[in-house]
């Protein structure tokens, strides 16, 4: 008997819901728009401007501030940081980086030990260390940043050490060969 009662209640509820949905559907229908009343166009972002990921979004961003290059005898990288991409335009190095965090303010810098060396191919080289102070941020969000650094100090030091006014320096970051760029002046 209980089964029969519960079955009736459930069927009634289902029919009542279906009936009220049909009624709402009829109420929601509006007359078709006339030629005079056209809907406003929906803005469409061109594919080349659409971000496929946070990293893609960071790729299109510009750095807020161009930071100076620090000359330090023994630079240490400190907290973990991944270089996604790098480019040099004029005397400005732009780095797209990512790291964990999201709860505290992070500080960034770029240091150089003041020495010019050579690559295995004999090209002039400067080993740069990307500095990152996470400020003990233990949050797990992925943070994407665009950092810009002024490389004019490298050019000035190159000239002062008697190497001339023009060169193409091979820039290595944190000793990782895959993370490198060329600075031509």
**Domains in the chain, start-ordered, CATH in brackets?**
52-184 (2.60.40.2370)
- Which residue has 């400005």 as its token pair? 92
Segments of 19-165 assigned E as strands? 66-71, 82-89, 92-101, 107-112, 117-118, 124-133, 141-150
Token output for 90: 């004029």
pLDDT at position 33 is: 46
Pairing of strands 176-184, 168-173: antiparallel
pLDDT at position 163 is: 85
pTM, entire model:
0.64
The C-alpha angle 65, 67, 71, rounded to 5 degrees, equals 180
Residue 62, phi then psi, degrees to nearest 5: -105, 150
Rounded Cα distance, 63 and 149, in Å: 9
Q: What is the pLDDT along the chain (185 residues), one digit of tens a residue?
A: 555 555 666 655 555 555 545 444 444 444 444 444 444 443 433 444 444 444 444 445 566 789 999 998 888 778 988 899 999 999 999 999 999 999 999 999 999 999 999 988 889 999 999 999 999 999 999 999 999 999 999 999 999 988 888 899 999 888 776 778 999 98
Rounded Cα distance, 149 and 130, in Å: 10
pLDDT at position 17 is: 52
pLDDT at position 13 is: 57
């Amino acid at each position: 008997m209980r089964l029969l009662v519960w079955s009736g209640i459930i069927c009634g509820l289902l029919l009542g819901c279906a009936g009220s949905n049909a009624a709402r559907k009829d109420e929601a229908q509006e007359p078709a728009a006339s030629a005079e009343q056209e809907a406003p166009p929906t803005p469409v972002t061109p594919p080349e401007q659409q971000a496929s990921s946070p990293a893609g979004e960071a790729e299109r961003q510009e750095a807020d501030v161009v930071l100076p290059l620090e000359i330090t005898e023994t630079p240490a990288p400190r907290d973990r940081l991944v270089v996604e991409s790098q480019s040099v335009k004029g005397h400005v190095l732009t780095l797209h980086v990512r790291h964990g965090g999201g709860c505290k303010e992070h500080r960034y810098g770029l240091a150089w030990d003041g020495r010019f060396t050579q690559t295995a191919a004999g090209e002039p080289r400067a080993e740069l260390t990307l500095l990152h102070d996470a400020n003990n941020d233990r949050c797990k969000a992925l943070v994407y940043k665009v950092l810009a650094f002024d490389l004019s100090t490298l050019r000035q030091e190159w000239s002062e050490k008697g190497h001339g006014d023009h060169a193409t320096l091979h820039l290595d970051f944190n000793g990782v060969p895959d993370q490198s760029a060329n600075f031509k002046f």
